[in-house]
Amino acid sequence: MKLVPTASQTVGPYFRIGLEHLCANPAAKGAKTVTVRGRVLDANREPVPDAMLELWQADLRGQYDSQPESANSRGRAAGFARIATADDGSFAFTAGRPGAVPFDGTRIQAPHIEVLVFARGLLRQLITRMYFPGEEANAADPVLQSLPDDRRATLIARGPSSAAEILEWNIVLQGEDETVFFAW
């Protein structure tokens, strides 16, 4: 018999007490890193100062560090990061560049970072993805290509090229340019 998963509740305004210990963004190793800056905005485009992002991504080879033995002496595996927004709703993180990831036997997914959004006001986390600008593989990415044409751009960070060291990406919780969020 299946058990019913426990219901979600909001992370609330005081999550830093319990969750900030993982918020340090360890400097990504290796030369191939990217810094992403942005803001979390509400329906009135007001900044959300009490949001938290969790990132999950593959390494440059497209592999996920999901094996128990890989949790290092500090107790955490690579590929995961947690970031709280600042008073002005801004966030910034530096990540190793992810590689392309398998989709099924034949197709691949373009490099992307899975992003979970938690905040006061969100009774359940939101799930979205960030893709890279100017990345050729975007045109064949099965998830990106499944989205309506007029909403796809909300998942692609802004920057001069796929190799840019600094990218910008906002998360808009509601409104005309609302970020694409996924059912899960």
Pick out residues in 39-68 that bind other proteins (CB under 8 A): 42-44, 46, 48, 50, 54, 56, 58, 64-68
2 touches other proteins (CB under 8 A): yes
- C-alpha angle with apex 184: 119 to 174, nearest 5 degrees? 45
Q: Is 14 in the site for other proteins (CB under 8 A)?
A: yes
**Is the CB of 34 or the CB of 131 nearer to other proteins?**
131
Contacts of 140 (CB under 8 A, 6+ apart): 107, 108, 110
Q: Show the binding pattern over residues 165-184: x = contacts other proteins (CB under 8 A), - = does not.
A: --------xx---xxxxxxx
- For position 72 contacting other proteins by CB under 8 A, the verdict is yes
Near other proteins in 87-126, by CB under 8 A: 101-103, 109, 112, 114, 116, 118-126
CB of 27 to other proteins, least distance (A): 18
Q: How far apart are alpha carbons 57 and 111 in whole angstroms?
A: 9
- 16 is a contact residue toward other proteins (CB under 8 A): yes
Tell which positions 132-161 bind other proteins, by CB under 8 A. 142-143, 146-147, 151
CA dihedral 116, 103, 111, 66 (to 10 degrees): 60
- With CA atoms as reference, report the closest residue to 81 among 93, 91, 73, 72: 93
Count of residues touching other proteins (by CB under 8 A): 77
Residue linked to tokens 């955490």:
76
Do residues 99 and 62 touch, judged by C-beta distance below 8 A? yes
